[in-house]
Structure 1
Amino acid sequence: MLQNNQFSVFHSTVYPWQYVDSDQVLHLMICVKGAGPISIKCLACDPCDTDKGVFGEDRPRLFTYEMRCEMEGPGIQYFTLHIPMNTHKLRYHFSISVLGHTYLYDESGLSEDKEELYIRPFFVAYTYSDRCGGVPKWCNGMVWYQIFPDRFAKEDSDQTRGWQSGKITDKDLVCGGTLKGITSKIPYLKQLGTKGIYLNPIFQAGSIHRYDIIDYLKIDPILGTEEDFVELCEKCHSNGIRIMMDGVFNHCSYLSPQFQDVINKGEHSRYYDWFIVYDTDRLKKMDVKTGADAQFRVSPVYETFAFVPSMPKFNTCNPQVMDYLIGAAEYWTKKCGIDAWRLDVPDEVNIEFLRAFRRRIKTRNPDIYIVGEFWGNAVKWLDGETFDGAMNYPLYFIVRDFLAKEKISAFPCAKLLTQCLMANPPVRRCGMFTFCSTHDTPRILWHCGEDRKKRDLCYILTAALGGQLSVYYGDEIGMTGGYDPDNRRCYPWNSGTAPKEMKEAIRDAVSLASDDGKGRICRICALDEEVLGVIYERRRLYINRSKEEKELPDGTKICPQSYCYL
């Protein structure tokens, strides 16, 4: 961040400040803090597009582009520009007018105007179209419904037999949900406005959560057959519903035939280099299932996910491992017309694996959506070489802390949300996967202390901020639950307790997420400690978290713990 006495400016030549998309359009973003009325121009051209000056020097044939104020937050403004790349490289700098003065901003910082000889421009390196990934156009306004297969629906008519009601404390409890059960609920999902189903893992595995996969080419028999899955995909597609699969490529089950071979043969196993083993003698002696070796955490026998011995980590640098896992994903993508893949803990997977996964899967389906599970800032993964988007945990935490927990007021919330949104340029924001609950977090109603009005506001605000909204199964009828495994309760189909008002709130959220008529988000603001505003080009959304009625600037009254969309 470079500054003078009045304001500060920031730009960089990396994503999201500089980005070239698959249509060879350059997207630039610059941030200004503390300035009053301001205008910014970008002066750019191919670095080799020059004329000769009076002394024989090369002088660039610069074109001037007016930048647009994309978003305003408390004390901060973001300006953007979109330039077609008529050649494969570019040079540029900025002219900033504020408070009657004009400044030049280049790689050397903010300064008074200076001659071309002394300008140090920013550069766009030579661009290659195959490295400039774009988000599939169908992702705009997408609404997903996340399903934990064992707990959503059974295939038989009696949905109560063997179906656990209420709190779940046994993480290994098998409740009997199936793929046919999901298929039977397609009319219900359409009624909610669902456009896609995100399935937690469905392959044969060693546990009910199935993040410890045994066979990547076999549907878990407890859920059904391959034919059942094909039928589910076909019926979803015929009803306009897309399918997202969960790709667990960082680790597998200790019961996988490859790891069992390593246990039995040690260094002589053909799969030895598929894993990262430190001590084959201890491996043969230890109880892998329970991890009885007390020294495992401080002195691991082999690499695992989260120190769990039953989940050995793949060596994803190994070409054979890459081919096996990506080949399995290709098989399902081709056979079932899979529309999207969500990759589990990709920040632990070799980057070359992720690049190869994108290249090969996009070859099978150029329009497929690839999203990564990242709990922090995912900027480094969103430059178009690996992922189309990320699970937007930073956004989730802000919404949770403002509305569910009430740990921050509307003022810091507005600032944090502005920064969070602008961490991704608008052209790629539709690739972000937004949510209020997942299989890895307590349900949002639980975080809200069972306050349904708070929970409704969380969904409305999340939907208002762009990206692809995901509804975790049962949230729409008021399901609750704390930390894993309690957040994976059974859907109470026959309980008769589904509250109508929550379905209406979810429908409002779905409608808001899909409403193109509101235009882009221009500003996020706080009216006071309790009221947050999201200002679009053509609409306005206000959220009042307090238990008192509030009055908006135009005189409109907003009820306690409510929202209005004007």
Structure 2
Amino acid sequence: MAHQAEQINRYNGDYGQFTLKVVTDGVASRIFAAKKNKKAEVLLTYHGYEQHTCRFYFGSDSGITINGAVCQTVCENGISRVSLPLDTETEGLFFFHFELEQNGCLTFLSPDGITDRFAGEWQLLVCNDRYPSEYGFSGGAIYHIFVDRFAKGGDYPPRSDAIMLDWEKDTPEYAEKPGDFLRNNTFFGGTLTGIADKLDYISSLGVDLIYLSPVFTAYSNHKYDTGDYMSVDPMFGGDEALKTLIDGCHKRGIRIILDGVFNHVGDDSIYFDSGNKYGGALHNPSSPYREWFNISPDGGYECWWGVKNLPKVIKCDSFRSYICDTVIPKYMKMGIDGWRLDVVDEYPESFLERITSASKSIDRNAYILGEVWEDASNKIAYGERKKYLCGNALDGVMNYPFRNAVCDFITTSDNEFITDITTTIAAHYPADRLNNSMNMLGTHDTERILTVLGGIPSDGLSNAALAHTIMTDEQYATAKKRFTAAYALLAALPGKTAIYYGDEAGMQGYGDPFNRRPFPWGKEDTGLTDFVRAVNLSKKSCPALIYGDFDPIPTESGVFAFRRTCESETVSCVSNMTNEPYLLPAPAFSLTDGMTACNVPAGQTKILKGDLFNDKAAKRP
């Protein structure tokens, strides 16, 4: 690993500065993660303390296992060094910190620096090697598709109660007020066959993984209200269309994952059956699905976040067996390459691990992606510390913290938040899980990224206003410039770069349902499309951007910079959100536009070959 000497975390505080690094199997790293039963140690260096005592504290949610043990300290020329082994016998999340006592005064060492009070701890994630999440992708991007809105294709008659809208002219149906109930039975006619017909376009964008919105038979256009897990919705083309799409993807070197919605079903499903059409659970106590739901004697039932047409499933043994022994094997054997797991926070650990095991028993390289909105390494949800990244569960997560940090930096130019978030996530996630996480600027659950970067705020606007509010030409130009800076920055960060269908074409829109309009075929912003394609293809050919170490570079206000380093190369990224050009230490070849750059213009991001910020790099006269 290159730059081992630089894999050090440096901290400052009111009472001095220090450095700390974790060494696993003899390799120094910024990452606070270690493999189970592998040798690991923490190395601490500080100065300014002569006659003193250093104590070490280590523990987990279960309690403290090392409570103030006195450290053996080596002091030389005013510099103190401590080397301590870390316990890696048990997988899970652990916490530690140091305390220094000198002349009766106590100071604390933590991620906040050296302070006179307890200010937090470092964490150590101990993982197993059950499912090594190798860099199984070629560095290409993820393309996230909302099926009903991407492309028409094939001849699949709509349901009798489906309301068909005009692809070119109509606006997605919306409620009077945000959050009001909708049946969502309006459709634009996108199909799996339509996606298959556009695979050459998708492939040209540098994509090597397609993530589909749900495809199981369901009443709504979004399909998060599963009606029958064992069939693909006929309006999308059914099982045959999915199989054709899978085969077409694989011929082009593209993998494909489905959205696994295993936390709730639709009220019109064969399982719950609110209309008493299928012998389902609500009206039939003897139904085999009755124990899947929490149904009261008066006919009331537990539903997901109060949404009445989404009955929540109890993860009982029969439901788990049905999903893991019947549903997952069907689609894995059909040829899909994994799952994006919806609202994975609501899955008990044992259920999630069983889903992963069921998938990987059929395809060892199955990709399991979880919907997690926060730091996935230490999250607590529903009273359970989640072990998403410990080796038995997820290969990666939807990296919303990176998205939020990039959007914040591009729109405010404040580099403190993005520096904190990116360094924290990069330190907390095992490298393989971080590099296989999904970095996106937009999804079906967020406003369109161009609207975020250039549109007027949605606060206080009615749905009727949001449905018809579009940017002025001036606003769009601002949004487009910001998008190119944001997307290049996102692509340079560790993780799988993802694009939500149509973002590369210039689509606008506020939150659901306005972020789910039909793709504007024939009206794309081709300049934006070409830019996304160029960035994706550059990353695909750059090992440092696929799996290189992440090393933040201190800069002045308004500039965010870092390097990515692997055994064969180093790449530097500089994002300049000031109003002036940012002068580079030396001219460098730009992967962003294929030209030699001497500076980074205001409002732009450059991905540059070489380690421009190394002390040994060429400097300007």
TM over 0.5: same fold? yes
SS in 1 for 2:308: strand
The 2-side partners of 1:416 and 1:258 are apart by 42
> Which residue of 2 is the match for residue 388 of structure 1?
395
Matched, 1:262 2:281: yes
> Which residue of 1 is the match for residue 617 of structure 2?
none
Amino acid at match of 2:297: T
Q: Deviations over 1:241-269 (max 9, x none)?
A: 1111000000001111221222222x443
1:210, CA displacement in angstroms? Answer: 0.2
Distance change >3 Å, CA 536–CA 359, structure 1 → 2? closer
Select which of 63, 72, 93 maps to 1:113: 72
The 2-side partners of 1:424 and 1:202 are apart by 31
The 1-side partners of 2:517 and 2:211 are apart by 17
Select which of 503, 509, 516 maps to 2:543: 516
Matched, 1:227 2:227: no
Matched, 1:425 2:451: no
> Which residue of 2 is the match for residue 293 of structure 1?
none
> Which residue of 2 is the match for residue 492 of structure 1?
520
Aligned pairs for 1:53-452 (under 5 A) are: 67-68=27-28, 70=29, 78=30, 89=37, 93-99=41-47, 107=58, 108=67, 111-113=70-72, 122-125=86-89, 132-139=130-137, 141-155=139-153, 162-165=166-169, 167-170=171-174, 171-260=184-273, 261-265=280-284, 267-277=285-295, 279-281=296-298, 283=299, 301-316=300-315, 318-379=316-377, 380=386, 381-403=388-410, 405-406=411-412, 409-449=414-454, 450=476, 451-452=479-480
Answer yes or no: is the 8 Å Cα contact 1:177–1:223 preserved in 2.
yes
SS in 2 for 1:487: coil
The 2-side partners of 1:464 and 1:510 are apart by 10
> Which residue of 2 is the match for residue 503 of structure 1?
529
Q: Pairwise CA RMSD of aligned residues?
A: 3.2
Q: Deviations over 1:475-512 (max 9, x none)?
A: 11111111100000101113xx3223212221233135
Matched, 1:534 2:562: yes
1:354, CA displacement in angstroms? Answer: 1.0
Amino acid at match of 1:141: G
SS in 1 for 2:282: helix
Answer yes or no: is the 8 Å Cα contact 2:218–2:225 preserved in 1.
yes
Select which of 539, 556, 561 maps to 2:603: 561
Distance change >3 Å, CA 437–CA 91, structure 1 → 2? closer
Amino acid at match of 1:564: K
The 2-side partners of 1:95 and 1:255 are apart by 59
SS in 2 for 1:502: helix
SS in 2 for 1:398: helix
The 2-side partners of 1:335 and 1:390 are apart by 24
1:399, CA displacement in angstroms? Answer: 1.0
Amino acid at match of 2:450: L
1:212, CA displacement in angstroms? Answer: 0.2
Q: Deviations over 1:234-291 (max 9, x none)?
A: 11101111111000000001111221222222x44332211122x232x2xxxxxxxx
Answer yes or no: is the 8 Å Cα contact 1:448–1:455 preserved in 2.
yes
1:162, CA displacement in angstroms? Answer: 3.0
1:154, CA displacement in angstroms? Answer: 0.6
Answer yes or no: is the 8 Å Cα contact 1:330–1:364 preserved in 2.
no
> Which residue of 2 is the match for residue 19 of structure 1?
none
Amino acid at match of 1:243: I
The 2-side partners of 1:132 and 1:249 are apart by 23
SS in 1 for 2:234: coil
Answer yes or no: is the 8 Å Cα contact 1:342–1:372 preserved in 2.
yes
Distance change >3 Å, CA 532–CA 40, structure 1 → 2? closer
| Structure 1 residues not aligned, in runs of 5+ | 1-28, 45-64, 71-77, 284-300
Distance change >3 Å, CA 90–CA 187, structure 1 → 2? closer
The 1-side partners of 2:196 and 2:308 are apart by 35
1:456, CA displacement in angstroms? Answer: 1.4
Answer yes or no: is the 8 Å Cα contact 2:140–2:209 preserved in 1.
yes
Amino acid at match of 1:504: D
Q: Deviations over 1:70-90 (max 9, x none)?
A: 4xxxxxxx367978x8xxx46
The 1-side partners of 2:554 and 2:169 are apart by 41
SS in 2 for 1:364: coil
Answer yes or no: is the 8 Å Cα contact 1:481–1:487 preserved in 2.
yes
Distance change >3 Å, CA 39–CA 93, structure 1 → 2? closer
Distance change >3 Å, CA 156–CA 273, structure 1 → 2? closer
Distance change >3 Å, CA 110–CA 559, structure 1 → 2? farther
> Which residue of 2 is the match for residue 18 of structure 1?
none
The 2-side partners of 1:79 and 1:247 are apart by 30
The normalised TM-score by structure 2 is: 0.70
Distance change >3 Å, CA 377–CA 412, structure 1 → 2? closer
The 1-side partners of 2:38 and 2:601 are apart by 52
Percentage identity across aligned positions? 29
The 1-side partners of 2:210 and 2:364 are apart by 20
> Which residue of 2 is the match for residue 543 of structure 1?
575
Q: Deviations over 1:338-367 (max 9, x none)?
A: 112001001112222111111111111111
The 2-side partners of 1:259 and 1:522 are apart by 48
SS in 2 for 1:422: helix
Answer yes or no: is the 8 Å Cα contact 1:539–1:565 preserved in 2.
yes
Aligned residues: 475
The normalised TM-score by structure 1 is: 0.76
> Which residue of 1 is the match for residue 471 of structure 2?
none
> Which residue of 2 is the match for residue 460 of structure 1?
488
Answer yes or no: is the 8 Å Cα contact 2:260–2:342 preserved in 1.
yes
Distance change >3 Å, CA 505–CA 526, structure 1 → 2? farther
Distance change >3 Å, CA 212–CA 391, structure 1 → 2? same
Amino acid at match of 1:364: I
